[in-house]
Structure formats: structure tokens, C-alpha cells
Amino acid sequence: MEWSIQEIARKAGTTSRTLRHYGERGLLEPSRIGANGYRYYDQAALVRLQRILLLRELGLSLPAIAEVLEGQRDTSVALRTHLALLEQERERIGRQIEAVRTTLHKTERGERLMAEEVFDGFDHTRYEAEVTERWGREAYERGDRWWRSLGDAERKAFQDEQVAIARAYAAAAAKGLAAGGEEVQEITRRHHAWLSATTTPSKEYFIGLGQMYVDDPRFRKNYDRHGEGTALLVRDAMRIWAERNL
């Protein structure tokens, strides 16, 4: 049985462009290419894509994923490893749920919160390898020192601002506003200021980050969950803002 690239993209919650990119990187070759040029994928390709998407969810970069896939040719062994990782992730998410539930209950009852309770299950260090691979060890260590220096209220304020920015972008996308328009560019200014808390975004960095919001399924999902097409608006707005201001 085979599936077209459009069918696989839809079922996997990704895009045909992403699947073609995986093919260009040697990660996911189609089982065959039809006379019409369409790509088709068989069951083995589906299993391989599942592994790729899981490793992306775990924060690995594409070069790192290529190494993992190369080193794990036995599908059964690889799936057992991935199952164990998923179970660890489920346990971590369970802790996050309990942390939020505890925060809610204690807040409603006016009880004192403990930092260990609030942030149980939230661990930015799981992205260490990816940040280091993308932007260098110094960038990760600088961001790590900054995050650890914050108090509980400061961390929450930082996270809340990111959500507010994403929702503002989504509202602009829903209204059909232009990426280069005044309202969207003001949101993008806030976005740049938010990023500037941890680093000094260069023109190339800011544009590249915007592109990653579209190319990386994790980030695209994070924006598009607020409204379909939001990630594309964010990318275009960031490129325009960078061209005008950086």
C-alpha cells in the first residue's frame, strides 16, 4: 500500500514542503516517484517518518536525526527506544499537568506556592543540544544563565508575553492584515524586544528564526494553534521588520 505526499502530510500534521525537505536531506526518500512526478510512500517510509517526527518533538536537529537513523537500522530496536522516550515524555507531561493543577488549586485557595511545585516538569535544558547546534554553545550558556537568574514571577511574565505576542499575530492573521502593515509591525517590534531579553538578534538571526517558525513543525504548530496561517504571517513580518530596522 502506498500514500501520496499530500496524504502523508495531512495525516502526519505536516506539509508536503517539509517532506520534500526531508527527502533533500536524505532523511526520507519516497518509495517511488510516479510518471506525473508525484512522490509516493510505502509502509516502511511511514515508520521512518514516525521516527523522524518523534525525534523532532524531542528537540533533535536534522543532522542529529540523520545520525540516529543511521545508527539504528533495526526498526524493532529503534521503535522500542522511541517507545521508551515517549513514555518518559508522557511522565514529564503528567508532571506538568499536576504542576498546573496544584498552582490552580493553591491560587484559588490563597495558599502559598512553592517554586518546585510550579515548575515541576518544565525543563528548558532538554533543548540544549539543538540550541548549541543551531547557534553555538555560548548562546545556550548565555540563555541558560539568564533563565536561572529569573525569579518565579519574572519567568511567568516572560512566558505570558510570548503567548500574548502569538495571540496578537493570530488576531492579525484572522483579520487579513498585511505583514508589513503598521499593526503587524508593532507586534513584531514587541517580538524582537521579547527576544532581546536573552540575546541581541541580528538581521540574519531574526529572519532565520522566522523561517524556522514555518519549517519546524513544532514551532509552526505553536503559532498555528492560535489560528491557521499565523506562522506564515510571523515569518513574513519578521523578515520585513528586520529589513527595515536591523
Q: Which residues, 6+ apart, have CB-to-CB distance to 186 below 8 Å?
A: none
Question: Each residue of 187-210: pLDDT tens digit?
Answer: 999 999 988 887 778 888 889 888
Which domains does the chain carry? 3-71 (1.10.1660.10), 152-245 (1.10.490.50)
Say what the alpha-carbon torsion angle 225, 227, 231, 233 is, to the nearest 10 degrees.
Answer: -170
Any bridge partners for residue 62, and if so which? Answer: none
- Concatenating the DSSP letter of every residue in 76-120 gives HHHHHHHHHHHHHHHHHHHHHHHHHHHHHHHHHHTPPP-HHHHTT
pLDDT of 126 > 90? The answer is: no
Residue 119: per-residue pLDDT: 46
From residue 159, alpha-carbon distances to 57, 103, 166 in Å are: 20, 16, 11
User: Does the structure show a pLDDT above 60 at 226?
Assistant: yes
Please name the amino acid found at residue 50. Answer: Q
Contacts of 215 (CB under 8 A, 6+ apart): 17, 18, 21
Among 41-45, 52-56, 72-76, 94-98, the range of highest mean pLDDT: 41-45
Give the residue with greater pLDDT, 228 vs 2: 2
Q: Which amino acid is at 47?
A: V
Residue length of the chain: 246
Report pTM: 0.48
Each residue of 121-140: b (16+ CB within 10 Å) or e?
eeeeeeebebbeeebeeeeb
Lowest mean pLDDT among 21-35, 112-126, 167-181: 112-126
